[in-house]
Structure 1
């Protein structure tokens, strides 16, 4: 008898919750930890199978109910896939104590829950925005030293961010909310509690306002998004196109209104919290990590490994730095190209510009994630959420669906990433990927003149 995908997914999330209790924190690799990891991958595989069966379902209500059912075991289990929520809680305590989070890590207080924070983040400054610090401070104050309460509050915030995403995406494109029940969302939002979902919710809300010509409200939403994570500024120029070329004709004052309100919103929050542009300096602390999931970093690592074999081990860091610089240059070119294509579309067909402009914005956010110096699975949440507000079709739809299924497999329940165990093969995989992309672009450029001949 064939098992209903809804109940198969519930069984899968139950297994995932069990793996969280067995291997949810970085402990010595004993029998319980190994068992937990094995259960983790079995649960992920079953969840991927269940979601893949339901991804084409047309009933929005059925999909949302399914997502809620699948979330229940994860809501009562420890955080899995990453332990950043413990760092969030400690950052909240630092904020309440008046410590500058752009200069100090959780160990500066020290935080009540410092032992639960991964060692990597204990002395690391925080690159988030002022709104997130205020939210973290409120959650830490309400928790009164109880870690379970703090985690519960941050989970509530993440779920509210997810609800905002679903509502805004539905306003943009009344389509199936299948991505809300995807493995990526369940693992890294419901369980992992990453603040990227709040960023995504504000960005989607900003786009929803922009499509209706409400430049002021769109600016407020993007200002709030940037005050969570600065990544929001990548999507802002695309919102400018929507408020400029709105239905009913261009509005020349709309871009200035949008930009002014966005900057004002951020400035007010920065002044109220005492945290302004210090994130620029704090961003450099995360760049010290070297893992191949970031394509430029992976290419640099591969070059560094070759230089080590050639007898120049000291050149490893230089190779990574050069590759990252080239990655930033490639990212800048991609962002300009995507915005230019969106601009051309918005000029030609203002009334039909929302879908292509949103698609370009989603791709821009994804490019920013994978071409940055460091990439984690949950960095893709914002870009995928924006794409969920479009009519996904063809290869892009398939690629997004494969991504939301595959990305959770990159981490273990105790937050350890598989990228740390596969540095050498992963780095050369990045090189192969870049070579394949460049070769395809060259072939496509050669075919264009040939096709234009009579």
Structure 2
């Protein structure tokens, strides 16, 4: 993959981006963006309203026992709610694509208006397209009780949150790290351990981390030479974020924020002249990735790629990578001690193997082998998962090696952008390969890959095709589960 660096500062001389885009964020709202914003708001309102009949149902909220609302979840009311949610999703996609067209034409966009208009209507909604939020909150409550979330399922906890967990997960330990438990424990406690207030509180947490993600991506795009407006449109305002992170309340919103923060700090370190500032920024990047790792340990895959950004020569990159890794490890140890849950979260990572979901390549391959009569599904799944695990490790190693910068490059803004763009391109490919061959792949996993892609300038060869593929992936992944969280 060959890349050519952008020639000047932030977006101004990018031949693929109109000049008006570079300064669009300095201006006002822009009438061209109003229609997409309002369309997305209507879509979000429809999803929110439909969630009470078609979302991840919760008896504790009272729909089943409330005569005035019970019709939303049964019979024709449930069908109407399902249609309302899907129409809302379609409107969100239409609004997003229209906003992207407006941004490409140079329309000024106030992104805080976009995020507020598309996210706030979902504040009171029940979780949609997944019931994981109930599991999250029940796991947080377990941290304060006698049950061990890394040994016991949420069924051992009792209480309002546990009552709403899907039966498939009530006896499954959590694969998430200690920071996940601390955040969920605090959210459940502040809600008074009441189901609906806890959902609203968790959505506020998601809002906060998505705001951090937007700030970090904006700063990162400025350093890499990408258009800030294009980056925010693709990386944070896309329907996967709106529907699955805001609507579904997945902890991937936290991972996305810390991942983009770590990426920004690592690029800022490479651009910083004073050595002390450089090492301090690298330490901050290590802390950010360490925090992401205490949500999902797979986030640590970022570290070897960020090491290439930190240093052009192999041994310099290695030393700085070790520096970041050390801070990530210390961060993980501190969070683990603060949670009081011990290191059981490392042993619980294997629980993901219990999920058999067709959208994961090894599962799809096993279904195909069973269908054509080559092997039974169980045997084919075991073989496919082993082969995919080996292939995934090899692909990650190859992507990391191909991402290495040219050691003879001189340190200046253009070469830094060239190096960073190439590294992020291979990192995006690595994320994609990992999600495709992983034993488990859910739609919301892809938000971090799309966020990485968003920071790559349009001047790099293949960037336009990659963005078109990202749009296709986003639309496809939106169809992978139904509003209640069941795979389609």
TM-score class, shorter-chain normalisation, is: 0.7 to 0.9
Residue in 2 that maps onto 1:441: none
* Contact 1:410-1:417 at 8 Å conserved across structures: yes
In structure 2, what is the Cα distance between the partners aligned to 1:190 and 1:89?
Answer: 16
Give the superposition deviation at 1:76.
Answer: 2.1
The within-5 A match list for 1:134-173 is 134-173=182-221
2:124 maps to 1:76: yes
The one of 386, 398, 416 equivalent to 1:325 is 386
In structure 2, what is the Cα distance between the partners aligned to 1:139 and 1:113?
Answer: 12
Compute the TM-score of the two structures, normalised by the length of structure 1.
0.84
**Per-residue deviation, residues 105-126 of structure 1 (Å, max 9, x unmatched):** 1101223322211112111110
2:102 maps to 1:92: no
Residue in 1 that maps onto 2:25: none
Q: Secondary structure at the match of 2:176?
A: coil
| Structure 2, unpaired ranges of 5+ | 1-31, 58-63, 65-72, 223-227, 270-280
2:431 maps to 1:376: no
Q: Secondary structure at the match of 2:354?
A: coil
Residue in 2 that maps onto 1:414: 484
* Contact 1:223-1:263 at 8 Å conserved across structures: yes
| Structure 1, unpaired ranges of 5+ | 419-454
Distance verdict in 2 for CA 1:348–1:282, change over 3 Å: same
Q: Secondary structure at the match of 2:159?
A: coil
Residue in 2 that maps onto 1:395: 465
* Contact 1:80-1:415 at 8 Å conserved across structures: yes
Distance verdict in 2 for CA 1:79–1:43, change over 3 Å: same
* Contact 1:200-1:386 at 8 Å conserved across structures: no
* Contact 1:159-1:189 at 8 Å conserved across structures: no
* Backbone CA RMSD of aligned residues: 2.3
Residue in 1 that maps onto 2:87: 42
In structure 2, what is the Cα distance between the partners aligned to 1:347 and 1:22?
Answer: 61
In structure 1, what is the Cα distance between the partners aligned to 2:320 and 2:467?
Answer: 32
In structure 1, what is the Cα distance between the partners aligned to 2:364 and 2:98?
Answer: 34
Distance verdict in 2 for CA 1:9–1:34, change over 3 Å: same
Residue in 2 that maps onto 1:178: 233
* Contact 1:303-1:316 at 8 Å conserved across structures: yes
In structure 1, what is the Cα distance between the partners aligned to 2:468 and 2:194?
Answer: 43
Give the superposition deviation at 1:299.
Answer: 0.5
Distance verdict in 2 for CA 1:368–1:347, change over 3 Å: farther
Give the superposition deviation at 1:201.
Answer: 0.9
| Number of residues of Structure 1 aligned to a counterpart in Structure 2 | 410
2:100 maps to 1:33: no
Give the superposition deviation at 1:368.
Answer: 1.7
Give the superposition deviation at 1:276.
Answer: 4.8
Residue in 2 that maps onto 1:303: 369
Distance verdict in 2 for CA 1:108–1:262, change over 3 Å: same
Distance verdict in 2 for CA 1:6–1:145, change over 3 Å: same
In structure 2, what is the Cα distance between the partners aligned to 1:60 and 1:92?
Answer: 42
Between 117-126 and 386-395, report the one with greater CA deviation: 386-395
The one of 243, 246, 253 equivalent to 1:197 is 253
2:352 maps to 1:262: no
Give the superposition deviation at 1:251.
Answer: 6.5
In structure 2, what is the Cα distance between the partners aligned to 1:47 and 1:280?
Answer: 38
Give the superposition deviation at 1:258.
Answer: 1.1
Q: Secondary structure at the match of 1:287?
A: helix
Residue in 2 that maps onto 1:221: 288
Distance verdict in 2 for CA 1:45–1:198, change over 3 Å: same
* Contact 2:359-2:480 at 8 Å conserved across structures: no
**Per-residue deviation, residues 112-169 of structure 1 (Å, max 9, x unmatched):** 3222111121111101111111111111221222112211221111111111111111
Distance verdict in 2 for CA 1:19–1:240, change over 3 Å: same
Compute the TM-score of the two structures, normalised by the length of structure 2.
0.79
Residue in 2 that maps onto 1:235: 302
**Per-residue deviation, residues 296-344 of structure 1 (Å, max 9, x unmatched):** 221122112333xx7x6xx321110101111112111211111111114
